[in-house]
Amino acid sequence: MKKFDYENSVGFVVYNASKTIQKAFDLELRNKIGITITQSKVIFALYMTSGPTQRELADKIGVESPTLVPIIDKMEDDGYVKRKPDPQDRRIKRIYTTSKTDSLWDSMMKCATQIRKVSTKDVSEQEMNSALRVIKKITENLTTYLGDSELGDLKKTKD
């Protein structure tokens, strides 16, 4: 029986690359503008959807809602976000960016560009395009698989 080469498996390589890119981006953001990668994810998400609830925002950036509380607290203390009561339900707080956040955008983009430049050094445009196509296809295949699996799980619970 052939031994499985875990370190050269697609899943491991993609996961490791993702974690390394995130670590480098976090370091760049901390050193250049004084925010963390998680704070940048909050800002990106708020630019895509203005005024989400904390739960919606947590879902969008892939963290648990309680994990987000201290992050939002710090960002609010630093003047990057503000919580406002929902007009229909005052128990719900919605989260918005501030003008101070707007001033971070260009700096965040410069950090992202720097990490892309460093990470793609000695990689041709053709190689990058090919790698992106392959990773997108893998993601599409897995998304289909997960959708099929969820449908299968639904059928099993109805039977």
Specify the pTM.
Answer: 0.81
CA pair distance 99, 80, nearest whole angstrom: 8
Mean pLDDT calculated for residue range 84-98: 92
Report residue 3's pLDDT band, with 50, 70 and 90 as the boundaries. confident
Report residue 147's pLDDT band, with 50, 70 and 90 as the boundaries. confident
Q: What is the pLDDT of residue 151?
A: 57
Q: What is the pLDDT of residue 6?
A: 83
CA pair distance 129, 132, nearest whole angstrom: 5
For the CA atoms of the chain, what is the radius of gyration? Answer: 20
19: amino acid identity, one letter: K
Distance (Å) of CA 145 to CA 36, 67, 136, 142, 149:
33, 29, 14, 5, 6
Taking 90 as the threshold, does the pLDDT of residue 7 lie above it?
no
| Residue at token pair 């993609």 | 14
Burial class of residue 84, CB neighbours in 10 A (0-12, 13-18, 19+): exposed
Taking 80 as the threshold, does the pLDDT of residue 58 lie above it?
yes
Tokens linked to 37: 């990668």
CA pair distance 101, 105, nearest whole angstrom: 7
Report residue 34's pLDDT band, with 50, 70 and 90 as the boundaries. very high
Mean pLDDT, the chain, as a whole number? 91
- Residue predicted with more confidence, 5 or 42: 42
End-to-end, the C-alpha distance of the chain in Å comes to 39
Taking 70 as the threshold, does the pLDDT of residue 39 lie above it?
yes
Taking 70 as the threshold, does the pLDDT of residue 156 lie above it?
no
CA pair distance 64, 54, nearest whole angstrom: 10
Q: What is the pLDDT of residue 16?
A: 96
Mean pLDDT calculated for residue range 132-150: 90
How remote is the C-alpha of 29 from its chain's centroid?
A: 14
Q: Please give the CATH architecture assigned to the domain spanning 18-120.
A: Orthogonal Bundle (1.10)
Domain chopping of the chain, boundaries: 18-120, 122-159
